[in-house]
Copies of this chain bind each other. A is one copy, B any other.
Amino acid sequence: MSFGFQVTSRDGGARRGVMTTPHGAVETPAFMPVGTQGAVKGVTQRDLEALGAEILLSNTYHLYLRPGDGLIARQGGLHRFAGWPRPILTDSGGYQVFSLASRRTIDEQGARFQSHLDGSAHLLTPEKAADIQAQLGSDVAMVLDECLALPAEAGAARTSMERTLRWAARARTRFLEIRAGTASGVIVTNPGQAQFGIVQGGVYPDLREESAEQTVKVGFEGYAIGGLSVGEPADVMYDIVARTAPRLPEDRPRYLMGVGTPSDIVEAVARGIDLFDCVLPTRNARNGQLFTSAGRINIRNARYAEDNGPPDPACECYTCRTFSRAYLRHLIHAGEINAATLNTLHNLHFYLDTLRRIRESVSFGRFESFRVAFHQGLSGQPHDS
């Protein structure tokens, strides 16, 4: 199967579709669980399949440093290495260079940094990010973008956005060389890989519009909106998404990177977004925070010590069908690994089920009533945390 995307129904600004990849189809809008190092923390690949996950995100920065994209390529690529036969999207590594690496310096060539693991020196260029992802063999590769330091004045945001555009063109050139088989030294483990461009421009609508237009001119199989959900108010994010999405091609998938809360996802779908990824359901699960249809609860809370009800009475996941709040509280206080597993199973089920309900509501022209009911449910009870 080669890469493609088709919108199958629309409801207001929301759309439902199917993204096809060399490793199978993904129904959109879709949420991608984050498997940073080739594994989603706390749950196995068969758990993910049982939950209905159709696509995972994996982090290029981490896999490049350990175990190395060369090793993964020699093992046949990331799908085979990680035992995950379905679609995978990899980021470019840029965000982690900005958030994890030390002594990073950025210039026109790329990002120089030291590994957070062993201090070794590395240079990540747009071409190198494409090469690494070609070796990983993800179904969707992302271009290297510059992550703007916040808060950013309009001038700095423009400078950064323009560099991201130049990097996008370089990344596309390299990607096409890889696809043509003329990139020497690169083990291409997934010849059908697609590449997405990334719109930047901070919180400035005019910069976002210009970035969108110019990124589309470079030409990619899909487009992401980056640099949001980084501390700005939710309504600012929604506004940027609302202004940017319409400037992206109707017939290509739109991916809002690193977003977000369940509410953020519903609101972004309303504004035309098709793909999401976020560490919230998995990371927060490990800290005891559970997403429920009535809001978030923190299972560490003393009020749950003798609560024999399920985490979310409206939920049909394995955790909610089998275990009580009292037991889950015990596990996390006792430091049991299983706390991470059972909480993660629940939170991922909540996210993936929310996306299933979104898709269904779009199909039946009921997205707006779903959206209202969803937000009302979340506000039905005070949050623990």
Contacts and interface: CB of A to CB of B under 8 A. Distances in A.
Interface stretch (A155-163, A169-177, A323-331): A323-331
A338 interface: yes
Given A66-B330, A67-B305, A326-B75, A337 B42 contact: yes
Contacts of A334: 37, 39, 62, 66-67
Interface string A170-192: 00000000000000000000000
A349 to B, nearest CB: 14
Contacts of A306: 71, 74-75
B46 A83 contact: no
Contact of A336 (B37, B74, B76): B37
Contacts of A8: none
Interface in A313-347: 318, 322-324, 326-327, 329-331, 333-334, 336-338, 340-342
Contacts of A340: 337
A38 interface: yes
A324 B79 CA distance: 12
**A: interface residue count bin:** 35 or more
Nearest to A67: B330
A39 B341 CA distance: 12
A42 B327 contact: no
A41 interface: yes
A86 to B, nearest CB: 13
Interface in A51-87: 62, 66-67, 71, 74-76, 81-83
Nearest to A340: B337
Given A83-B327, A330-B37, A305 B338 contact: no
A3 B43 CA distance: 37
Contacts of A62: 334
A75 B324 contact: yes
Given A81-B324, A83-B322, A337-B337, 16 more contacts: A37-B334, A39-B336, A41-B336, A42-B337, A44-B338, A44-B341, A44-B342, A45-B322, A46-B322, A66-B330, A66-B334, A67-B326, A67-B330, A74-B306, A82-B327, A337-B340
18 contacts: A37-B331, A37-B336, A38-B327, A38-B331, A41-B336, A41-B338, A44-B318, A44-B341, A44-B342, A62-B334, A66-B330, A66-B333, A66-B334, A67-B326, A74-B306, A75-B306, A75-B308, A81-B324
